[in-house]
């Protein structure tokens, strides 16, 4: 694990995964954020405190979180990287990420970020995409909340950070990416309906990268066009991502969405047209009496 | 810092040595972001073929509009690199299979399927030929 020909898991980050990160896989760089300090966002919450915000992510009564055992959690400032050390290993990944979805409600403006998490044994290393939420909460007792949207959940394999050129490299099939979303025009919608697949070749039969997002479908074509910097779509396809390897493409340039690519055919789960814009009501005719 | 490359007004190919007509050549237009655009031409009895940019861009625009997430505007992200490759039997079969899926939905060159089948009929006779591309 770690980079090829290297015994260290953390070489990608200069041996210091807390303060350095390597989003491109080419060279590590200093995190652009400082460790979280008390200030506008309030004190660093103690996530082991079962009273925080009225919810405890490690509450054994919450079934999805039962196996989570946090040894140490460090949260950095807005836009930064969160790291967490766990006693539990691979099987805890999903529970950890899922657990934080409980805090979505506390967030204000979501900010897409990359989460890196390290396991206490040093034997496992993973990376997830998520949404970092911060800001004041409604009850004032939980000033910083970290949330991951389940639909945006991506877990990378332990070896994947060694892949140069793209952050994370191939996403492991066990990455809990249940579905992917793809915005399309009427032609691709028709093809998807007819074949049951998102085509992975162009019209000349040449293999291509198929761009999708792990994020849930947005509500309007305008939102999709803006988030993914594409022409306005007419349909949204939800695809079955199980067993398919993806390359994480990061944030869309100029947009807010996250994109991933695969060269595989993605089975179609659903093809849904965006709702047509509401037709303006025609004002009632006014009858004018004639003489 | 990279600059935008002007899309060529015309692209031509030459297959050598002298070849039977109908050899299929895939032109690949490399982009700075997202997928390349492809186009297939068929060499004449002189081993030559050419295609104008308006035809290429019309096909590329159609492809981009059909598959919104996979392409960017070729006028903005063309890298300036064009490669040409004589299609193998396997690639011809793939092109024919794609034609069956995409026909009636996007535009193809005239008599495209017939030309593909004819190229397929050439089989391995094209194995030693080379192709050069001019823009």
Q: What is the tens place of the pLDDT at every residue in A167-202?
A: 223 333 333 457 889 999 999 999 999 999 999 999
Radius of gyration in angstroms for the set of CA atoms belonging to chain A, rounded to a whole number: 22
**Confidence (pLDDT) at B18:** 74
**Confidence (pLDDT) at A222:** 94
Does the residue B39 lie in any domain? yes
Residue B41 sits in which domain range? 10-134
Q: Rounded to an integer, what distance in angstroms lies between the CA atom of residue A41 and that of residue A43?
A: 7
Does the residue B3 lie in any domain? no
Does the residue B111 lie in any domain? yes
Q: Is pLDDT above 50 for A91?
A: no
Does the residue B98 lie in any domain? yes
Complex ipTM value: 0.93
What predicted TM-score, i.e. pTM, was given to this entire model? Answer: 0.60
Q: Is B69 close to A259, i.e. CB distance below 8 A?
A: yes
Using a pLDDT cut of 70, give the percent of chain A over it: 33
Per-residue buried b or exposed e for B98-127, using 16+ beta carbons within 10 Å of the residue's own CB: bbebbeeebebbeebeebbebbbebeeebe
Domain count, chain B: 1
Q: Does A264 touch chain B (CB under 8 A)?
A: no
Q: Which residues in A lie closer than 8 A to residue B28 (C-beta atoms)?
A: 206
Does the residue B5 lie in any domain? no
Does the residue B21 lie in any domain? yes
Q: Does A254 touch chain B (CB under 8 A)?
A: no
Q: Rounded to an integer, what distance in angstroms lies between the CA atom of residue A113 and that of residue A147?
A: 11
- CB-neighbour burial class of residue A219 (10 A; exposed 0-12, middle 13-18, buried 19+): exposed
Count of pairs with CB atoms under 8 A, one residue in A, one in B: 84
Mean pLDDT, range A139-158, rounded to an integer = 27
Does the residue B130 lie in any domain? yes
Show the 3-state SS of A109-173. Answer: CEEEEEEEEEECCCCCEEEEEEEEECCCCCCCCCCCCCECCHHHCEEECCCHHHCCCCCCCEECC
Q: Is B101 close to A210, i.e. CB distance below 8 A?
A: no
List chain B pLDDT tens, one digit each, 135 residues. 456 678 889 999 998 887 788 999 999 999 999 999 999 999 998 889 999 999 999 999 999 999 999 999 999 999 999 999 999 999 999 999 999 999 999 999 889 999 999 999 887 666 678 888 888
DSSP symbol at A192: H
Q: Are A162 and A18 in contact (CB under 8 A)?
A: no
Does the residue B73 lie in any domain? yes
Q: How does pLDDT run across A16-69, given as a tens digit for each residue? A: 333 333 333 332 333 332 332 222 223 333 433 333 233 344 444 433 332 232
Taking CA atoms, what residue in A is nearest to B98? Answer: A205
Cα B61–chain centre separation = 14
Q: How close, in Å, is residue B18 to chain A by CA atoms?
A: 25
Q: How does pLDDT run across A217-242, given as a tens digit for each residue? A: 999 999 999 999 999 999 999 999 88
Q: How does pLDDT run across A122-134, given as a tens digit for each residue? A: 222 233 333 322 2
């Amino acid at each position: 694990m770690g980079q090829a020909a290297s015994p260290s898991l953390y070489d990608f980050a200069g041996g210091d995964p807390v303060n350095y990160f390597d989003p491109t896989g080419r060279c590590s760089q200093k995190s652009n954020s400082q460790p979280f300090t008390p200030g506008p966002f309030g004190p660093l919450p103690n996530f082991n405190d079962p009273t925080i915000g009225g919810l405890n992510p490690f509450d054994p009564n919450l079934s999805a979180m039962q196996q989570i055992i946090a040894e140490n959690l460090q949260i950095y400032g807005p836009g930064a990287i969160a790291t967490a050390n766990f006693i539990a290993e691979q099987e805890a990944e999903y529970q950890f990420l899922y657990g934080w979805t409980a805090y979505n409600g506390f967030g204000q403006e979501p900010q897409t970020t990359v989460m890196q998490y390290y396991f206490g044994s040093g034997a496992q290393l993973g990376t997830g995409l998520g949404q970092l939420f911060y800001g004041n909460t409604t009850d004032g007792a939980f000033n910083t909340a970290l949330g991951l949207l389940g639909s945006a959940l991506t877990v990378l394999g332990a070896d994947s950070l060694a892949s140069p050129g793209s952050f994370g490299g191939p996403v492991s099939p066990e990455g809990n990416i249940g579905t992917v979303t793809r915005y399309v025009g009427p032609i691709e919608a028709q093809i998807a309906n007819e074949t049951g697949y998102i085509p992975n070749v162009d019209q000349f039969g040449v293999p291509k990268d198929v761009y999708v997002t792990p994020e849930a479908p947005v509500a309007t074509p305008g939102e999709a066009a803006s988030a993914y910097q594409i022409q306005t779509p007419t349909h949204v396809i939800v695809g079955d991502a199980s067993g398919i390897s993806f390359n994480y493409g990061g944030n869309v340039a100029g947009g807010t969405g996250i994109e991933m690519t695969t060269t595989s055919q993605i089975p179609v789960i659903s093809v849904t047209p965006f709702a047509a814009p509401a037709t303006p009501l025609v004002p009632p005719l006014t009858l004018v009496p004639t003489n | 810092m990279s600059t935008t490359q002007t899309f060529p007004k015309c692209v031509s190919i030459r297959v050598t040595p002298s070849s039977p007509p109908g050899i299929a050549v895939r032109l690949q237009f490399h982009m700075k972001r997202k997928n390349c655009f492809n186009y297939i031409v068929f060499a004449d009895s002189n081993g030559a073929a050419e295609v104008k940019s308006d035809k290429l861009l019309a096909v590329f625009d159609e492809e981009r509009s059909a598959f919104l997430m996979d392409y960017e505007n070729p006028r903005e992200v063309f890298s300036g690199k064009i490669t040409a490759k004589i299609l193998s039997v396997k690639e011809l079969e793939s092109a024919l299979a794609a034609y069956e899926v995409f026909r009636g939905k996007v535009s193809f060159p005239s008599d495209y399927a017939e030309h593909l089948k004819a190229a397929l009929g050439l089989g391995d006779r094209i194995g030693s030929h080379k192709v050069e591309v001019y823009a």
